[in-house]
Every structure is written in C-alpha cells, then in structure tokens.
Amino acid sequence: MKFNYLKLCLSIFLCSFVAQGIAQPPPSPIELVQVQDDIYMITNPFVPGNITFMLTDEGILMVDNKFAWDYDNVMAMIATVSDQPVKYVINTHFHGDHSGGNELAQADGTVVVASENARLKMVEDNMSGLPTVTVDEHAFIHLGGKVVEIFRFGRSHTDGDVVVYFPEHSLLAAGDMFTYGADVPQLIDYSGGGSARAWTRTLDEVLRLDFETVIPGHGPVTNKAAMAEFRDSTLNLRLRSQEMVRNGNSREEIADMLRNEFNWADFTLDAGLDGLLAESQ
C-alpha cells in the first residue's frame, strides 16, 4: 500500500496535478521534528515532500509546503509552536509535493518565492499559486533579525531547483536536489529540465557552502557528509550508464542496473530512463 500511494502521488505531481479522474487523497499523517531551537521540519512516512520552517519574532519563513490537501494540517501543526504568520514560503522547485499549498498560502497573505525557471514551468503547466517573487541565481530574505540565502546553481532534479541556506544555523534545506534514505530513489525529471550530467556539478557548487546539517527534500535530517556521498552516487550513476551504453547493453539491462545498484523504482524509470540514455550517448 505504501509504495502504490507514493507512486500515485508522484504520478500526480509529475503531470502537474492534471489529476483526471483521480480522487484527491486524504491529508497526510504529518510529523513535527525540531531540528534546532527555531528550525523545524514537517515530514511524514507516506507522502513525499519535507517542509522546513524558521521561527522569528516577525513571522515565519517556510521552505516548501507539500500538497494542497495537506495545507490545513501543516498550518495547524505550525500553530502548536508559534502564533506568528507565515510571511514567506520558498519553493525549492515546481513539483506539487513542494508547491501544492501555494494558492492557499497566498490567500493567507504569504509571499511565495521560487526560481524564475520554476515559475516558468508552473506557468507552462497551468499550475495555481504562481510565485510573485523569483530568483535567478542568488537572493537574501531578511526576517525578524535573521537571514536566509537562496541559491540556484544549475540543473539537477529539474532546471529550477534552489537550495535554501541558513548561515547562522549552518543548515541547508536542499529540496529534491538531495534525497536521503535507501527507500528514496533519485529522480531525474527530464520533462522538468533535470539532468544527470549537470547534477554532479551543481552539487559541487552547493557543497562549497559552509553548512553541517541538511534537511533533504525526502528523508530524515542528515549532514553534509551524507550529501557528499549522494554527490558521488550521482557521478557513479552517470558513469555506469555511459559505460553500459558504450558496451551496447540493452535498455532493459540498463534499467535492471538502475534498479539493483541505485534503487530506482518504476516511477523513476518512467520519468528518467529515456533522458538518461540520451545523456549517456
């Protein structure tokens, strides 16, 4: 049941929520994790998309906001630790498990921020809750005497991924540029501009930042060393694929390698295999 539900939700957001004939799922059973004194993560065991939020005396800054049907539960959970409003939400990319709550957030007065590329993809896919502030390469948000930085270094999971850096906390909210855990396979969304070839170089730039704690797009809180290991895995994936293409291995043989060595599932193969083969030529 867990895998089928995950597959359904991923299918929905990769189609930009054109959920024709698919009933809206119930709200997710979310969990609250305190990462530092004023930094929290909202997660759950079934449906993808972590949320990071920072408390200040002048409001809350949030990174990602899950699906629309999770919005009320997320806001109720935030209210258990703060009575401040959410002033900003930063979408790490356009997928609905990270941006689906935008329209409801905007109705509550929250400013939605994303990369310009992510916004363009949302426009192309006729998604609601378009960001009103966009970032090209680097931006700062100052709130309640605290600062966060937003960086877009290049293509990875999509071509609009950003990471959100909390310099005073030595913490990074990575979005799906970095996913963590054996049951969370890497997904290259070529239809969204993702690239296996560019992913490694993009992570090299991220790893130059000074941080220790990492909140991934999917999976538990971890650290910079785990992100560096993931970077190496992105390189190994590309090299293995290139090697098999050069050796004339079949599509199914390469798919089996991705399943066995990199834990790819059917939905990651559907989204990424054709693009990976094309990049491996």
| pLDDT computed for residue 13 by the predictor | 44
* pLDDT tens figures, 171-213: 999 999 999 987 778 889 999 999 999 999 999 999 999 999 9
Q: What is the mean pLDDT of residues 212-234?
A: 96
When pLDDT is cut at 50, 70 and 90, the band that residue 1 belongs to is: very low
Give the separation between CA 176 and CA 192, rounded to whole angstroms. Answer: 13
* pLDDT tens figures, 2-49: 333 344 344 444 444 333 344 566 777 899 999 999 999 999 865 568
| pLDDT computed for residue 48 by the predictor | 64
SS (H, E, C) 212-245: CEEEECCCCCEEHHHHHHHHHHHHHHHHHHHHHH
Give the separation between CA 239 and CA 94, rounded to whole angstroms. Answer: 28
Give the separation between CA 197 and CA 171, rounded to whole angstroms. Answer: 26
* pLDDT tens figures, 94-110: 999 999 999 999 999 99
CA distances from 210 to 187, 207, 222 (A): 26, 8, 15
Joined together, the tokens standing for residue 140 give 């700062």
| pLDDT computed for residue 17 by the predictor | 39
Q: Which residue has the tokens 């109705």?
A: 107
The separation between CA 111 and the C-alpha centre of its own chain, rounded to angstroms, equals 19
Statement: residue 232 has pLDDT above 70: yes
214: left (phi over 0), alpha (psi -120 to 50) or beta: beta
* pLDDT tens figures, 125-160: 999 999 999 999 999 999 999 999 999 999 999 999
Give the separation between CA 110 and CA 126, rounded to whole angstroms. Answer: 20
| pLDDT computed for residue 134 by the predictor | 98
Q: Which fold has domain 2-223?
A: Metallo-beta-lactamase; Chain A (3.60.15)
The b/e string for 168-186 (b: 16+ C-beta within 10 A; e otherwise) is: ebebbbbbbbbbbeeebbb
| pLDDT computed for residue 130 by the predictor | 98
Coil, helix or strand at residue 56: strand
- Residue-level length of the chain: 281
**Domain locations along the chain:** 2-223
CA distances from 186 to 79, 91, 147, 268 (A): 33, 19, 30, 7
Mean pLDDT across the chain: 90
Statement: residue 111 has pLDDT above 80: yes
Sheet holding 213-216, edge to edge: 138-143, 146-151, 163-166, 171-175, 213-216, 222-223
Give the separation between CA 172 and CA 208, rounded to whole angstroms. Answer: 12
Pair 271, 183: CB distance under 8 Å: no
Give the separation between CA 248 and CA 233, rounded to whole angstroms. Answer: 23
The separation between CA 43 and the C-alpha centre of its own chain, rounded to angstroms, equals 12
Statement: residue 249 has pLDDT above 50: yes
| pLDDT computed for residue 44 by the predictor | 80
| pLDDT computed for residue 23 by the predictor | 57
Pair 195, 279: CB distance under 8 Å: yes
Measured N-to-C along each axis, helices 196-206 and 224-246 cross at an angle, to the nearest 10 degrees, of 160
Statement: residue 162 has pLDDT above 60: yes
